[in-house]
Amino acid sequence: MTLATSEVRPTPGVRAATPPKSPRSRRRSRRLRRYAQWLFAVPALFTILWFFGFPIVKNVVMGFQDYTTTTFYTGVAPWVGFANYARVLGSDVFSTAATNTALFTVASVAFQFVLGLLLALYFRRAFPLNGVLRALLLLPWLIPIIASSAVWKLILDQDSGILNSALALLHIPAVPWLVSPDLALTAVIGVNIWFGIPFNVVILYSGLAAVPSELYEAASLDGAVGWRAFWNITWPSIRSVVSVVVALGIISTLKSVDVILALTKGGPANSTQTLSTAAYDESFTQFQFGQGAAISNILILVCLVFAVLYLLVSRKEVDE
């Protein structure tokens, strides 16, 4: 008697079990995924290296060369070692520029942060036209700096400026805001503060908005209101945001060149000359590209120090 073989059919809705992959197949899959990740990262790496890495390396090399307009025709830039740095550091303009850079950076960042924090705290309150006023506050940040600087130059003009015209109504003599060596740096700092306030307000306002309101309600039960609430709740909660604002403010102010060039071009008598404007002047006015690159490299090192300090502070706050 012959037994008929019955065909085994899979149960509907149940998938057949796939055999496990061999260790070699798993290694191949992990390798392919790793290669795919690197392929997606290649465009970003190429952009960073080409548009950021190459100019920095080129600038560092130029700082050790006698790179002038002749180099564009001959293609030859003699190697001079640290001669460019010796000339730059030994000049009177460098010491003046370094002092002005310190004053310009400290005053700008301090006032931008304090005023930005006060405005951010003010806008945390609910009042009519809050959103409209916050939007208008962004105008200095949205308008191109060159255009805004040109307007400010007209406002601060000694003879026909709007500010001196308003002072004349109060019988106050015209003030040489941009042509006096004693006042020019103060005027430039004031304009730069006006530029930086919106950035501080936006970042600090977002940090304040992230603080839970329940903390203030609980603290008010213990009598912690006003200054005590700010010092014990608000400030510790936004400390990481404050470090970001201050670090970015310092770095952006150190390399600021457009505001000063548009208002005073580093004058009068180098009273508003900073390291960034000195590098610009050496490279594109004196055409001493090697010395200009040397000043730029010094400025890059200063910015790098603040960037490392910011990373250390951020890591410490994360660990805490």
State what percent of residues in the chain have pLDDT above 70: 91
Give the distance, in angstroms, between the CA of residue 218 and the centroid of all CA atoms in the same chain: 37
**Has residue 275 got a pLDDT over 50?**
yes
Nearest to 301 by CA among 257, 260, 242, 254: 254
Phi, psi of 80 (to 5 degrees): -120, 5
Residues paired with 65 in a beta bridge: 79
Nearest to 191 by CA among 96, 251, 256, 120: 256
**Has residue 306 got a pLDDT over 80?**
yes
Alpha-carbon Rg for the chain in angstroms: 30
Tokens 């409209």 -> residue: 132
**Has residue 319 got a pLDDT over 70?**
no
**Has residue 9 got a pLDDT over 60?**
no
Give the distance, in angstroms, between the CA of residue 231 and the centroid of all CA atoms in the same chain: 27
Tell me the pTM.
0.83
In CATH terms, the superfamily for domain 92-274+300-319 is MetI-like (1.10.3720.10)
pLDDT tens across 70-94, in order? 888 888 889 998 999 999 999 889 9
**Has residue 316 got a pLDDT over 90?**
no
**Has residue 5 got a pLDDT over 70?**
no
Report pLDDT for 240: 85
Do residues 216 and 230 touch, judged by C-beta distance below 8 A?
A: no
pLDDT tens across 164-183, in order? 999 999 999 999 999 999 99
Residues paired with 79 in a beta bridge: 65
Q: CA angle 112-118-120, nearest 5°?
A: 95
